[in-house]
Amino acid sequence: MTERLATDVLILGAGGAGLTAALRAADASPSLRVTVVVKGLLGRAGCTRMVQGGYNAVLAAPDSLEAHLRDTLEGGGWINDQEMVWTLVREAPGRVQELETRYGCFFDRTAEGRIHQKPFAGQSHDRTIHRGDLTGIEIMNRLTEQVRARANVTVLEECRAVELLADDAGRAAGAVVLDIRSGELLAVGARATLLAMGGGPTMYKVIACSADKSADGLALAWRAGLELRDMEMVQFHPTGLVIPGSLMTGALLEEGLRGAGGHLRNGLGERFMQRYDPARMERSTRDLVSRASFLEIAEGRGTPNGGVWIDVSHLGADNVERAFRGMVRRCRDFGRDLARGPVEVQPTTHFMMGGIVADSSCRTMVEALFVAGEDAGGVHGANRLGGNGVAESTVFGGIAGDVMAEFVVGQRASRLDESVVERTALAVNAPRRRAADADLYTLQRELRALMWDKAGLVRDAAGLGEARVGVERIAAALRRVGVPGHGAFNIAWQDWLNLSNQATIAALIVASALERTESRGAHYRSDFPSPEPGPIFTVRVRQRRGEMVVSRAPVDFTRMAPSPAPPATVAVDIGD
Ligand SMILES: Cc1cc2nc3c(=O)[nH]c(=O)nc-3n(C[C@H](O)[C@H](O)[C@H](O)COP(=O)(O)OP(=O)(O)OC[C@H]3O[C@@H](n4cnc5c(N)ncnc54)[C@H](O)[C@@H]3O)c2cc1C
């Protein structure tokens, strides 16, 4: 029997996007009931907590909103939704102020007492606000305290959304949630629902992102009939740790190391970026640096353990210890001394630029359903700049909270479609009712290897074709997997649900990558190594009568057109 719960605003996910949305919605009116569902523990799960480098916002001249816009569009290969980017850059300074003055965050200061901003790759100004190199912990701790202090916010921890609900008019009406602790299902009826589950490219072999994420939000949206965009745009970060034999391989060393002047060298000791981007060298965008490292390793110029070296020791051990405390500690845990010598790194899967199609107010194509953060597509285009991720999650999370609080006023409580609740209960519990005919963890390993080898940093039609067939086979085999044991804390069952969603989204990544017969941003096709000369387009995927439809849509240059000449920038002083 599925339990019932009613709320006004339902927030699925509790990273930067989910928590900011919860706070803004809760503060809009004390009579609003806000419910937050989080797969792990509040404040501990997801990627916002892992944010190391920092938060991009324009605080003073000579930086400008236009420069931030241009950097983001250039980095994004000009396929971004320009209205979403403009919203990001315009709102980010205010959100930083709000994080400090309303929610209690405190960012590093200059000697004069102003917020310190550091350089980050792909940016024309020092723009990245930070708390040492552990910025996410500061943001998540303060947001979590604030959420805990709101009487009108209910938090359901260790609960995962497994399906979206609609009412009889097709409007979003909440979600079916699985309580991981008990194995019981709960149908949460809501007048507005936010998808903020943080994407998560965990279907790849080497990852930097939080392992609790499994692209659940995207899979739920897909099953609910929403359109997704830019799914081929998976970001690989160049500096994931190489720790042979450890699951920590892939854990991130932050971009600030390159921003501060760190050198990358191959196994022969060459600063190989000279070959790929001699103007920007290590400060080039992360897609270029990742691919360059990948090619160096693939062509036999890697380090003994199959990586490249990052070296910041020339910056001075004391400086490195002070500026990159978290990174130094992380390396020391594995016997590496980042402050005094080179450390082996390799590309790692980091972020999904693609996601659910939405507008700048976080509205999706389904009424009463909203999206914010990494689940949304459009802000980052073909490549996310370091520092724009946490800005996106808190800016759009806040907007979603405001918009939903206003949206629910006068909306009647929706009537749940009981047939969806029943169907979901059957589908979710299906693997527990059958004997195992295929091994879950073999399939998990296969999917990760397939995506890494055939749909990773360097792609071509033949490899993507193999990936398509392989993903289909894995998805079919998953339907024969059984999981033993009862429902409470059943890890295999959770992993089956994770892998099902990962396989669903892997298929969309592969199909979109096949459609983009050019190289742009994070998407590199060795069989089409240049951008197409024709109009710039985005790739969209949606379902029609149960079949996947892949299409191209032209980009609207509503704010800026790509041009080789640098634009005149208008200085903005947000102190006014
Ligand atoms: C190691 C690392 C370093 C980074 N450093 C930076 C940086 O310096 N600057 C920057 O701008 N960006 C950085 N990023 C990117 C940044 O973390 C993300 O852009 C941002 O945190 C995404 O926020 P979010 O709220 O969308 O998702 P997340 O913070 O990932 O939150 C997702 C939430 O959804 C929950 N969830 C998932 N599935 C379900 C489900 N089925 N039901 C319920 N809840 C669910 C998760 O438990 C989590 O609470 C970094 C990312 C990583 C991995």
Q: What is the DSSP string of 498-531?
A: HHHHHHHHHHHHHHHHHH--S-BTTB-BTTB-S-
Residue 66: what pLDDT?
Answer: 97
Mean pLDDT score, 90-111: 97
pLDDT number for residue 569:
35
For residues 88 and 164, give the distance between their C-alpha atoms in angstroms, rounded to a whole number. Answer: 27
pLDDT at 547: 94
pLDDT in tens, 370-385: 999 999 999 999 999 9
Q: Which of 91, 127, 192 shows the shortest CA–CA distance to 414?
A: 192
Of the CA atoms within 13 Å of residue 414, those in its CB half-sphere come to 29
* Best of 48, 129, 144 for a ligand 1 pocket test (most atoms within 8 Å of beta carbon): 48
Cβ–ligand 1 contact at 120 (below 6 Å): no
Q: 527-562, pLDDT tens digit by residue?
A: 999 999 889 999 999 999 889 999 999 999 999 999
Ligand 1 center from residue 351 Cα (angstroms): 9
Q: Which of 24, 147, 176, 197 to mutate to test the pocket of ligand 1 (most atoms within 8 A of CB)?
A: 197
Q: Which atom of ligand 1 is nearest to the CA of 501?
A: 41
- Give the residue, by CA position, lying nearest to ligand 1 atom 19: 389
Average pLDDT, the chain: 93
pLDDT at 564: 60
C-alpha–C-alpha distance, residues 339 and 335, integer Å? 12
Other CB atoms within 10 Å distance of the CB of residue 423: 13
Q: What is the mean pLDDT of residues 28-47?
A: 96
pLDDT digits over 491-531, tens only?
999 999 999 999 999 999 999 999 999 999 999 999 999 99
Closest ligand 1 atom to residue 209 Cα is: 53
Q: CA–CA separation, 86 vs 204, rounded Å?
A: 31
Check if 52 has its Cβ closer than 6 Å to any atom of ligand 1.
Answer: yes
What integer is the mean pLDDT of 321-340? 92
Confidence at 1, pLDDT banded by 50, 70, 90: low
DSSP state of 455: S
Top mutation candidate among 195, 233, 390, 505 for ligand 1, by most atoms within 8 Å of CB = 390
Nearest-CA residue for atom 8 of ligand 1: 53
Check if 197 has its Cβ closer than 6 Å to any atom of ligand 1.
yes
Instruction: Find the range with the poorest average confidence among 199-203, 251-255, 273-277, 447-451.
Output: 251-255
User: Which atom of ligand 1 lies closest to the CA of 37?
Assistant: 43
Answer yes or no: is the C-beta of 25 below 6 A from any ligand 1 atom: no
Mean pLDDT of 317-325: 92
- Predicted confidence at residue 406, as pLDDT, reads 97
| Of 75 and 573, the one with more pLDDT | 75
- The whole-number pLDDT of residue 575 equals 28
- Residue whose pair of structure tokens reads 């602790």 in the numeric block: 181
Helix, strand, coil percent values for the chain (each to nearest 5): 35, 20, 45
Asked if 353 and 233 touch (Cβ cutoff 8 Å), the reply is: yes
C-beta 194 within 6 A of ligand 1: no
The values of phi and psi at residue 151, to 5°, are: -70, -25
- Cβ–ligand 1 distance for 28 under 6 Å, the answer no
Q: Give the tens place of pLDDT for each residue, 183-214.
A: 999 999 999 999 999 999 999 999 999 999 99
Mean pLDDT of the 136-159 span: 98
Please report the DSSP string for 339-408 in residue order.
Answer: TTS-EEEEEEEEEE--EE---TT-B-SSTTEEE-GGGB-SSSTT-PPTTHHHHHHHHHHHHHHHHHHHHT
Just list the catalytic residues. Answer: 237, 258
Nearest to 554 by CA among 82, 23, 34, 145: 82
pLDDT at 112 over 60: yes
Regarding the beta carbon of 15 and ligand 1, being less than 6 Å apart is answered: yes
- 3-state secondary structure at position 420: helix
CA of 196 to the centre of ligand 1 (A): 9
pLDDT at 572: 30
Find out whether 285 and 75 touch, Cβ atoms under 8 Å.
Answer: yes
Q: Alpha-carbon distance 246 to 15, whole Å?
A: 26
Is the torsion defined by CA of 126, 132, 136, 141 positive or negative? negative
For residue 387, give the ligand 1 atom closest to its CA. 11
Relative to beta strand 263-265, strand 537-544 is unpaired
Distance CA 371, CA 198 (A): 10
Kindly report the protein residue whose alpha carbon is nearest to atom 5 of ligand 1: 51
In the predicted model, what is the mean pLDDT of residues 88-115?
Answer: 97
Residue of higher predicted confidence among 65 and 533:
65
Q: Indicate whether residue 398 lines ligand 1 (CB < 6 A).
A: no
| Residue 571 predicted with pLDDT over 60 | no
Beta strands at 369-371 and 34-37: parallel, antiparallel or unpaired: unpaired
pLDDT at residue number 323: 87
Q: How far is CA 283 from the centre of its chain?
A: 22
Q: What 3-state class would DSSP assign to 467?
A: helix
Residues 6+ apart with CB under 8 A from 529: 519
pLDDT tens by residue, 353-370:
999 999 999 999 999 999
Cα of 51 vs centre of ligand 1, distance in Å, is 8
Residues 405, 409, 414: CA angle, nearest 5 degrees: 100
Judge if the beta carbon of residue 193 lies within 6 A of ligand 1.
no
CA–centroid distance, 374 to ligand 1, in Å, is: 7
* CB distance 355 to ligand 1 below 6 Å: no
Predicted pLDDT of residue 185? 96
| Nearest Cα residue to 381 out of 218, 553, 533, 229 | 229
Question: Which atom of ligand 1 is nearest the CA belonging to 393?
Answer: 23
pLDDT level of residue 566 (50, 70, 90 thresholds): very low
What is the Å distance from ligand 1's center to 563 Cα? 33
Question: How far apart (Å, rounded) are the C-alpha atoms in residues 101 and 96?
Answer: 9
418 — pLDDT class (breaks 50, 70, 90): confident
Q: What is the pLDDT of residue 436?
A: 74
Question: CA 121, CA 257: separation in Å to the nearest integer?
Answer: 10
Position 568 scores a pLDDT of 37
pLDDT: which is higher, 153 or 546: 153
Kindly report the protein residue whose alpha carbon is nearest to atom 14 of ligand 1. 51
For residue 105 and ligand 1, the question of a CB distance below 6 A is answered with no
3-state DSSP assignment of residue 163: strand
- CA separation for the pair 504, 143 (Å, rounded): 32
- Ligand 1 atom index nearest CA of 251: 1
Question: What residues contact 102, with CB distance under 8 A and at least 6 apart?
Answer: none
Residue-wise DSSP of 96-128: HHHHHHTT-----B-TTSSBPEE--TT-SS--E
Pairing of strands 185-195, 263-265: unpaired
